[in-house]
Amino acid sequence: MELKIENLSKTYANGVKALNDISLSLTTGMFGLLGPNGAGKSSLMRTIATLQEADGGSIIYNDGYHPAVDILNQKDIVRQMIGYLPQEFGVYPKIDAVTLLNHLAVLKGINDSTKRKKIVDILLEKTNLTQVRNKNLGGFSGGMKQRFGIAQALLGDPKILIVDEPTAGLDPEERNRFLNMLSDLSNDKIIIYSTHIVEDVQELCKNVAIINKGEVVFAGSPNDAIQGIRGKIWKDHVEKSRLDFYKKSLNVISERMVAGEPYVHVYSEDKIAPHAIEVEPTLEDFYFHSLKKINQN
């Protein structure tokens, strides 16, 4: 199973070039999509989901068994094989879960009532919503609403599932439950997972793309990304009064407070100070380093 994106471009009417010659290859499993706000992530996902037109390029889906599908030009077919959970997912607060999911299934083209009931029951069970199936959605917690969002996205058993910032606002327990569910679903689907939480991508995704200013900064496995900066990330505690000097004199890629004290991660070929500690790099270190390098050019 492969989703092949080649030379995809999109410029909006206001002149913003959201996608600039994007090329990526996605296969079965979870694919992480990282980038700052305005990088082009949402534009890419909306284009794949047929919610907006591209100016140029191609997106081809091939499962190895059936004729390839041209995502940009066979929209009716594509909409039967894609599930989409946008960042802002609204629900009708005075309708219960089973009624709304049944209605959405009809809109998806599942017209046989017996088959539809079975599908709805399975999806409510899969998303752990069976016990609240008759509860109005207005009374759902944030995590329950997100799980309902996945249930509607899974109608029709899509081969491609697109989720945009799905864990935003969830408490740690709900977040873990939601991510475990996505991981289970990824065995036979291409899941495009867009998030600001880099740690999630490192743990869950076998491949990742970093996008900035409409261009692919990096595409590959998290392990390959980390390997490229191994031995070059240093952690140091910095007095608050010297933080600005540090940032001007060294390649500080990130800073954070620990027990009220500032610590920095610095990219350097050599040890930056006697008390600095070389640390095992993370995908987050690579992400910040990549964005800083691009912004400096």
For the chain, domain boundaries? 2-220, 231-279
Q: Which H/E stretch holds residue 160?
A: strand 160-164
Q: State the pLDDT at residue 244.
A: 86
Q: Which H/E stretch holds residue 117?
A: helix 113-126
Contact, 129 vs 149, CB < 8 A?
no
Q: State the pLDDT at residue 86.
A: 87
d(CA 214, CA 264): 28
Please give the CATH superfamily to which domain 2-220 belongs: P-loop containing nucleotide triphosphate hydrolases (3.40.50.300)
- Reading the block at residue 89, the tokens are 């997912």
| Global pTM value | 0.90
For 94, residues 6+ apart whose C-beta sits below 8 A from its C-beta are 136, 138
- CA-angle at 182, arms to 180 and 188, nearest 5°: 120
d(CA 125, CA 119): 10
- Reading the block at residue 6, the tokens are 């080649």
pLDDT tens digits for 125-183? 988 899 999 999 999 988 888 889 989 999 989 999 999 988 877 788 888 888 888 89
pLDDT, mean over the chain: 91
Q: What is the mean pLDDT of residues 210-219?
A: 94
